[in-house]
């Protein structure tokens, strides 16, 4: 936590050094830095310390008081960042499991092309499962950012099953070139919508894992789609070369 306080009674560099010395001596304070000209002190703390405790640590000539508005802004910003990371935790875990499973399937006879096809297959199967859990709620969430789903609502309704079908094609090695082309097209369209949403700084829910898990739309969604598109392009190039 970072808090900025007003400190009165400071008239010279010796006063500045004194305030910093006494505050830095307190437990749970990482760093206290004084701006003598602004009559302020910025305090980094690992655990919240009351204004009373801060005042008691200082010599009597100094009076410390809170800057409410700035502190609220900084604290809420940090908490929002932590909240986003916590909400994205399921996405990272699922991505890790898919990667680990794909590696285990081929660690004895490693082949990059087989690894990538199985990774993409498992990716589609797992992600379609979460979407199918709420077939009523997913289309509405998906239409908020996917350009094609906005224009054709029926596309949003069949999308989970489209993902499931593509996943099966990859895992069973059936019509792989066609599945790769469809991957590039549908994820390319979605990525355009994701990019626009991020640039517009809209706070909406990502539908990549359906509505069962409340995930915010972040750069992680863009990266996730881009990885799949790049893998599909590589495999398509590999297939025809």
Q: What is the CATH number of the domain that holds 21?
A: 3.30.70.100
d(CA 59, CA 202) in angstroms, rounded, equals 48
Residues 61 and 101 both lie in one domain: no
Shared domain for 35 and 145, answered yes or no, is no
| pLDDT value, residue 134 | 85
Statement to judge: residues 6 and 112 lie in one domain: no
Residue 209 and residue 145 in one domain: yes
CA distances from 169 to 2, 175, 177 (A): 52, 6, 10
Q: CA-to-CA distance for 202 and 186, rounded, in angstroms?
A: 22
Residues 120 and 231 in one domain: yes
| 153 & 57 share domain | no
Contact 162, 186 (CB under 8 A): yes
Domain limits for position 149? 83-240
Residues 6 or more apart whose CB falls under 8 angstroms from that of 203 comprise 216, 217
The domain tally of the chain equals 2
pLDDT in tens, the chain (241 residues): 788 899 998 888 888 888 999 999 898 898 899 998 888 999 988 877 888 889 999 998 899 887 754 444 444 444 444 455 676 788 888 889 999 999 999 888 898 989 999 999 999 999 999 999 888 888 888 888 999 999 999 999 999 999 999 999 999 999 999 999 999 999 999 999 989 888 887 767 778 877 777 677 777 788 888 999 999 999 988 776 5
DSSP state of 12: S
Length of the chain as a residue count: 241
Residue 73 lies in a domain: no
Output the pLDDT for position 80. 47
Predicted confidence at residue 68, as pLDDT, reads 54
Whether 146 and 234 map to the same domain: the answer is yes
Q: How far is 70 from 141, CA to CA, in rounded Å?
A: 35
Rounded distance between C-alpha atoms, residue 79 and residue 35, angstroms: 25
Same-domain pairing of 36 and 151: no
Could you tell me if 55 and 169 lie in one domain? Answer: no
In a domain, 23, yes or no: yes
Question: In this structure, are strands 63-66 and 205-206 parallel, antiparallel, or unpaired?
Answer: unpaired
Q: Which residues contact 124 (CB under 8 A, 6 or more apart)?
A: 163, 164, 166, 167, 170
Residue 205 is assigned to a structural domain of this protein:
yes
pLDDT digits (tens, 9 = 90+) for 58-84: 998 899 887 754 444 444 444 444 455
Q: Are residues 34 and 95 in the same domain?
A: no
- 76 within some domain: no
Claim to verify: residue 57 and residue 88 sit in the same structural domain: no
Question: Are 49 and 143 members of one domain?
Answer: no
Q: Write down the pLDDT at residue 83.
A: 57
Q: Does residue 72 fall inside a structural domain?
A: no
């Amino acid at each position: 936590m970072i808090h900025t306080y007003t400190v009165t009674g400071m008239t010279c560099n010796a006063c500045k050094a004194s305030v910093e010395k006494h505050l830095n001596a307190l437990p749970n304070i990482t760093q206290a830095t004084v701006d003598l000209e602004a009559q302020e002190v910025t305090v980094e703390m690992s655990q919240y310390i009351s204004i009373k405790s801060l005042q008691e640590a200082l010599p009597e000539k100094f009076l410390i008081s809170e800057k409410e508005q700035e502190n609220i802004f900084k604290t809420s910003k940090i908490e929002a960042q932590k909240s986003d990371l916590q909400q994205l935790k399921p996405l990272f875990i699922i991505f890790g499991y898919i990667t680990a499973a794909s590696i285990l399937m081929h660690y004895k006879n490693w082949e990059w092309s087989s690894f990538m096809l199985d990774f993409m297959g498992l990716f589609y199967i797992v992600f379609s499962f979460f979407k199918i859990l709420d077939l009523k709620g997913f289309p509405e969430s998906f239409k908020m950012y996917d350009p094609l789903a906005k224009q054709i609502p029926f596309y949003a309704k069949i999308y989970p099953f489209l993902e499931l079908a593509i996943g099966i094609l990859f895992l069973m090695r059936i019509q792989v070139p066609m599945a790769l082309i469809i991957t590039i097209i549908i994820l390319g369209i979605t990525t355009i919508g994701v990019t626009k949403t991020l640039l517009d700084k809209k706070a909406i829910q990502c539908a990549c894992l359906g509505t069962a898990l409340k995930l915010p739309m972040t750069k992680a969604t863009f990266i996730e789609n881009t990885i799949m598109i790049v893998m599909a392009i590589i495999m398509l190039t590999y297939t025809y070369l």
